[in-house]
Copies of this chain bind each other. A is one copy, B any other.
Amino acid sequence: MGQTTIKDVARRAGVSFQTVSLVLNHPQKVARTTRETIETAMRDLDFVPSLAARSLRKKPSRSIACVFPLAPEPAADAFRAHAEAEHGHVLQTFGTVTDEQGYTLVHRCRRGDDPDGLSRIASLVSEARVDGLAVFAEGRDDPLIGLLQAKRCPFVVFGLDVPGTHFAARAERDAVHGAVRHLIAAGSRSICLLAGDGRCPPAVTERFRGYRDALAEAGLPLRDDLVVPCDGTSAGGYRAARALLERPEIGAGSRPDAVVAASDRAAFGVLKALHEGGVRVPAEIRVVGFGNLTQAAYAVPSLTSVDVPTLDMVRFAFATLVELIEGTRAPDDLAQKLFPTRLVVRESSGAPPP
């Protein structure tokens, strides 16, 4: 990285090296478009200004970045999807934990696999703007992970167990396994799994494993028609539940007697659709959410949900990052933890009202 010179940058940007030097030392004297061209060239080449920055570069920034995926959708929808995802809560938790420890949190979005975007994220570390990264991976083969490994950036994967990386993830399989066992014990026999829409396929696979195993243990059949794709939004849960209600009451492809939703938000949509359809919850259909938002306790009926120890996960990820940054943990001494979840039983799956 350090071997790129300002002449390389000048060549790439199509300007003289004196202009590059001017951008480094007196950027306000350079026209904005020229400056931006040169800054882009610097980023493309992973250029770190040598004299000035080199000495600062080793000074810890005491900052870490959270890198979130943004759906490759039209802006307004992407905003909405980002807001609907549980990122807000995780982000705030990172914000408060980093703050508590005297660190600053940087928020970065990324859109899909855009290579430019990926290299800009890596350059946060090479430019010493942050000391390390918490990455919300989109899959186990996320190209950002390979890039960060190649560049030896300190990073921790959040929310997904990616082999060969440090990670803080949820025990997705056990979470759904426990929820389905609970529903079976309560008397449910045809349990629908709202299975995620493929944004994070490994988590969906893990949840499906928990679902399948719990059914098998109880000797219940695995019915393809009860594994229904659904995103984590309220609108998605609402639509999925409306479709379920159009099914016949009994026989092949019949409606389920329980639903495990992909998220609490989706579960709120399910509760709404069932309410509108005149279906009694839990008497006719039991409902379980995922995430245990504060609001789950105030839904009508209150929502049984999988509680995720977000604060513990964030603390673990942050502590690991600090160890990597300070060199007290070797990069190949992997810190990996699948955090157990806890099912909070409320009215929607049969707990008596308070």
Contacts and interface: CB of A to CB of B under 8 A. Distances in A.
Contact of A93 (B68, B83, B235, B299): B83
Interface in A212-258: 233-235, 238
Nearest to A120: B102
A15 interface: no
B265 A295 contact: yes
A96 B108 contact: no
A163 interface: no
Interface in A196-218: none
A79 B99 contact: no
Nearest to A98: B107
Given A52-B55, A53-B56, A63-B106, A294 B92 contact: no
Interface in A254-278: 265, 268-269, 271-272, 275-276
A129 interface: yes
Contacts of A88: 88-89, 91-92
Contact of A27 (B60, B78, B84): B60
Contact of A300 (B27, B93, B96, B275): B275
Interface string A272-290: 1001100000000000000
Contacts of A275: 300
Interface in A38-57: 49, 51-56
A94 B109 CA distance: 11
Contacts of A276: 353-354
Interface in A76-119: 76, 78-80, 82-84, 87-89, 91-96, 98-100, 104-109
A133 interface: no
B55 A268 contact: no
A57 to B, nearest CB: 9
Contacts of A265: 294-295
B108 A99 contact: yes
A16 interface: no
Q: How many copies does the complex hold?
A: 2
A184 B310 CA distance: 43
A115 to B, nearest CB: 16
Contact of A56 (B52, B108, B235): B52
Given A49-B56, A55-B52, A99-B109, A234 B295 contact: yes
Contacts of A26: 58
Interface string A307-351: 000010000000000000010000000000000000000000000
Interface of A: 23-28, 32, 49, 51-56, 58-61, 63, 65, 68, 70, 75-76, 78-80, 82-84, 87-89, 91-96, 98-100, 104-109, 124, 129, 233-235, 238, 265, 268-269, 271-272, 275-276, 294-295, 297-300, 302, 311, 326, 353-354
Closest 3 CB pairs of A and B: A88-B88, A99-B109, A105-B107
Given A52-B52, A82-B96, A295-B295, 18 more contacts: A25-B55, A27-B58, A32-B326, A52-B53, A52-B56, A56-B56, A65-B104, A79-B93, A84-B294, A91-B92, A91-B107, A96-B109, A105-B107, A129-B129, A234-B294, A272-B298, A275-B300, A276-B354
